[in-house]
Amino acid sequence: MKNQLAQWKMKTQIGDIYLVASEKGLKALIWKEQAAPYIKDIGEKTPQAEFLRQTIREITEYFDGKRTSFAIPLDVEGTEFQSKVWKELAKIPYGKTTSYKKIAGSLKTKGVRAVGTANGRNPISIIVPCHRVIASDGTLGGYAGGLPAKQALLDLERKVGSPGGT
């Protein structure tokens, strides 16, 4: 499976997610099936299968309220600007939100829409927490997994991150 991608469909409480791994790390965690071939056996002894297994473990722990950050190696591709936006997304603390405008400000750009576009093209949902970005007026904005999924992720993090949460 050298230089190939492997895909796995993971069922979660907020819907199916599709995991795609290369031999270098996780390439995608998204809400729609990809063109990458499905791995036949998650127990395979390939780097792709190991990255998929690790992602499944970490995402399961996240949904169980036992994980607030991720350790899975990533193999993500994007433009220079997208990469900068994604690095900013990764800095948003668990259970907190920020706005597209604040991210644009931290990148010293007035391109709020460009930030929104880069946010929407994030190939590693949940792990690179684009769901934590909301509009300046406090509304949810958009989300590739749909607004109910975005709200569910934010609710999970608020519950886990609040006193009395796990």
Alpha-carbon distances, residue 124 vs 12, 17, 38, 127 (angstroms) = 16, 11, 18, 6
Of 124, 126, 130, 160, catalytic: 130
Count of residues for the chain?
166
Contact 86, 126 (CB under 8 A): no
Q: Which long-range contacts (CB under 8 A, 24 or more apart) does 76-84 make?
A: 76/27, 76/123, 76/124, 76/128, 77/27, 77/123, 78/118, 78/121, 78/123, 79/118, 81/114, 81/118, 82/118, 82/121, 82/122
The yes-or-no answer on residue 18 being catalytic is: no
Q: Please name the residues in contact with 117: beta carbons below 8 A apart, sequence gap of 6 or more.
A: none
**Cα–Cα distance measured from residue 124 to residue 145, given in angstroms and rounded to the nearest whole number:** 12
Positions marked active-site: 130
